[in-house]
Amino acid sequence: MKTARRRLGLVARNVGVPILSLVLVLVIWQLIVVGFHVASYVAPRPRAAIDSVTQNWSVLWPLVLGTIRETVYGFVVGATLGFVLGVIMAKVSFLQGLVYPVLVLSQAIPIIALAAPLVLILGFSTAPKVVIVAWIVFFPVTVNVLDGLSHVDRDLVNLAKVYGASRWRTFWQIEIPATSTPLFSGLKIGATYAVTGAIIGELAASDGSSLALYQEHANSNLNTAAVYGTTMVMTAIGISWFLLVVGVEVFATPWRRRTVARRWPWRRGRDLTDH
């Protein structure tokens, strides 16, 4: 009873408060537009922006799907690559000195400048956008994984060694779980940038239909409501992806907020084999 109430409070805080702040943003938007008599071609009312989305949903939906696909593929590729690079650099110190500057360099290149050669190589398909998203996502993952792995408690690693653990076991049983906090920090940063990367990719490497070009089109038609509406859709994709990563983190790291482990139905047999 008590825990149920506490859980309800938690849900209220974790879901209610963000929704409240969202509503607040819409209210302030509405107040500014109405209060300062902003012309509708400069900034629409929230309602008009939302309507522009719902009324054109059948046109928007495939474009949204395209953006989601680029975001997800790019994120998965980038996160995997980032993780592997981080591990390699942490484990092979001479590679760290060799590769790190190149990685930093890669992030100094303006993404727009990257698009033209990517289109030449990969054409106007999903591929160049995936590459751009991965390009943005891998870096925070690599940096955080490298940092995390370099700061695993030496005594803990030594303890595993004394027990006779192989390097492989030590890596998966000790070093990787010990790195979960920075790993997820990197993933969350990557997740926030992923959609931005996909949109930039669509702008710079799109021939026909994409969410970014839809917005450009609306903009050149002075359809400001649709411009704002599309921005809202893009933001929603970004937030959803970020929340999904946060959800995975919460699920994967129960020890951070629980004192007692969850009971899994498929592990019950294990828990009963007692006497």
Partner 1 sequence: MTDALLALREVAKSFGDTVALSPTTLEIAEGSFVAIVGPSGCGKSTLFNVIAGLLAPDAGDVLLAERDVTGTTGHVGYMLQKDLLVPWRTVEDNITMAKRLTGRVTNEDRAEARRMARAYGLGEFLRHYPSALSGGMRQRVAFMRTLMTHQRLLLLDEPFGALDAQTRLEMQQWLLQVWRDAERTVLFITHDVDESIFLADRVIVMSPRPGRVVADFPNPLARPRTVDMLTEPDFIALKGRIMHLLHGGAA
Please list every residue from 177 through 206 that binds partner 1, using CB under 8 A. 177-178, 180
Q: Rank residues 192 and 253 by Cβ distance to partner 1 and give the closer one.
A: 253
Q: Give 56-104 as a 3 state SS string.
A: CHHHHHHHHHHHHHHHHHHHHHHHHHHHHHHHHHHHCHHHHHHHHHHHH
How far apart are CB 87 and partner 1 at their closest, in Å?
Answer: 18
With CB under 8 A as the contact rule, the residue among 2, 5, 37, 258 that binds partner 1 is: 258
The region of 18-26, 34-42, 45-53, 151-159 touching partner 1 under the rule CB under 8 A is: 151-159
| Best CA proximity match to 233, nearest among 210, 264, 262, 249 | 210
| Binding flag, residue 275, partner 1 (CB under 8 A) | yes
What are the CA-CA distances from residue 136 to residues 21, 71, 140, 209 (Å)?
Answer: 28, 11, 8, 23
| Binding flag, residue 240, partner 1 (CB under 8 A) | no
With CB under 8 A as the contact rule, the residue among 12, 18, 121, 153 that binds partner 1 is: 153
Q: Rank residues 42 and 159 by Cβ distance to partner 1 and give the closer one.
A: 159
* Separation between Cα atoms, residue 255 and residue 121, nearest integer Å: 46
| Binding flag, residue 249, partner 1 (CB under 8 A) | no
* Separation between Cα atoms, residue 269 and residue 274, nearest integer Å: 10
How far apart are CB 151 and partner 1 at their closest, in Å?
Answer: 14
Q: Rank residues 170 and 224 by Cβ distance to partner 1 and give the closer one.
A: 170
* Separation between Cα atoms, residue 134 and residue 76, nearest integer Å: 8
| Binding flag, residue 149, partner 1 (CB under 8 A) | no
How many Cβ atoms are within 10 Å of 157's Cβ, its own excluded? 17
* Separation between Cα atoms, residue 111 and residue 194, nearest integer Å: 13
Q: Rank residues 23 and 252 by Cβ distance to partner 1 and give the closer one.
A: 252
Give the tokens for residue 255. 């020890």
Interface residue list for partner 1 (CB under 8 A): 153, 155-156, 158-165, 169-170, 173-174, 177-178, 180, 253, 255, 258-261, 263, 270, 273-275
